[in-house]
Structure 1
Amino acid sequence: MATVTPDKVLDASGLNCPLPVLKTKKALEELQSGQILEVITTDPGAKADIPAFCSRTGHELIETVEEGGKIIFYLRKK
């Protein structure tokens, strides 16, 4: 279970590449620097895509949790 409290939650369940990353980018634009976004997805490709997005953009991937067929990412906006 995650130990992080998000400032915003994005449920991208049922969406496939590239939508989870695009929606993550848009959701992060709405946050202040240092705030945390929780991204919930069912797209297996997101396991590679979200960390790669963070590496490219400088946002911090705090934690990744897999439970019940969902992949949950916690990102801190740079």
Structure 2
Amino acid sequence: MAEEIILDVRGKMCPIPVMEVSKVSRQVKPGQVIKVLATDPAAKPDLQSWAKRTGNEILEIKDEAGYTVIRIRINNPVK
């Protein structure tokens, strides 16, 4: 299994987190996991919506000290 890609978008506000995930998703193989680190409260619902719309899968959402971790399996790399 390929290593997770860590995408640190802490300090960036909507729509940057979704745009960055979308950009990275084009560069990975199906099944790859992107671990997003975000401080924007909108990142959680925005990325859940993006994953549903694009056919990708949210594996985990957890709150850490001062930021949120969102793990997304890329089943369908965005074109």
Deviations 1:37-70 (A, max 9, x none): 1000000011210100001000000000101110
The answer on 1:42 being equivalent to 2:39 is yes
List gaps (5 residues or longer) in structure 1.
none
Cα RMSD of the aligned pairs, angstroms, is 1.3
Q: Aligned residues: percent identity? A: 34
Q: Corresponding residue for 2:74?
A: 77
1:17 to 5, 14, 20: 14
Letter in 2 for 1:67: E
**Alignment partner, residue 8 of structure 1:** 5
Residue 74 of structure 1 aligns to a residue whose secondary structure is strand
5+ residue gaps in structure 2? none
Matched length: 74
CA separation of 1:68 and 1:21: change in aligned 2, threshold 3 A: same
Equivalent-residue separation in structure 2 for 1:20 and 1:46 (angstroms) = 6
SS at match of 2:62: strand
Structure 2: how far apart are the matches of 1:68 and 1:6? 24
Superposition TM-score, scaled by structure 2 size: 0.88
Pair 1:63 & 2:56 matched: no
What TM-score, normalized by structure 1, do the two folds share? 0.90
Quick one: distance in 2 between partners of 1:43 and 1:59?
Answer: 21
